[in-house]
Structure 1
Amino acid sequence: MTKQERVAMGHRLRQQRTLLGLTREEFAELADISAGYYGQIEVGTSQMSIDTLIKLSKTSQLSMEYILLGEEIQPDADLTAIEALLARCTPREVRLAEKVLRLFLLRGDA
């Protein structure tokens, strides 16, 4: 992870902490990490473990994807389009679509 990515990640955490009305110390205490370490994460001078990411995600009420990448992954929106297509299909077409999807996903694992 680059310094720029760490800084952006820390900025997203700082914005959310501010929205929650918490100081760095209060936020760190809620996340069960030291205030000094959290401060380093927030300014982008320190990396974090998966365990810390999980704690920060829960405390900040942000998804891990958003903390790391700055974007939310919204599978429900994509599924809605697929569901709309399938709703127009006959039961036979739905079974065929399921088979095609299974073959596609199995091929993707190769």
Structure 2
Amino acid sequence: MQVARDRQKSYADLKRKPMEFQVGDKFMLKVSFWKGVVRFGKQGKLNPRYVGPFKVLERVGDVAYKLKLPEELSRVHNTFHVSNLKKCYADEPLAVPLDGLQFDDKL
């Protein structure tokens, strides 16, 4: 069992990359896991996968970061796992707008 576990771990480690970010960096936030909670007025393929950019306020633990969210997202908790963040290299005018956000009342 241990040999098989080690072999599978070596395969998984090839695809893993360490992700550490600095306070003040800007990130896009993944919103595909918000299905049913936040609607962007579009469906299917046209639904945005990331919104932002948002600024990192602080690091919480090893793999979580606290973001500065705008007023439109005030009902969403501001701490996210590193897997839900993507480094933003573009300028702010190219950002995905948060117009038309509709929150589910059961949030």
| TM-score, normalising length: structure 1 | 0.21
Which has a greater percent of strand? 2
Highest RCO, 1 vs 2 (Cα 8 Å, sep ≥ 6): 2
Q: Please state which structure has a larger fraction of its residues in helix.
A: 1
Q: TM-score, normalised by structure 2?
A: 0.21
Question: Larger radius of gyration, structure 1 or 2?
Answer: 1
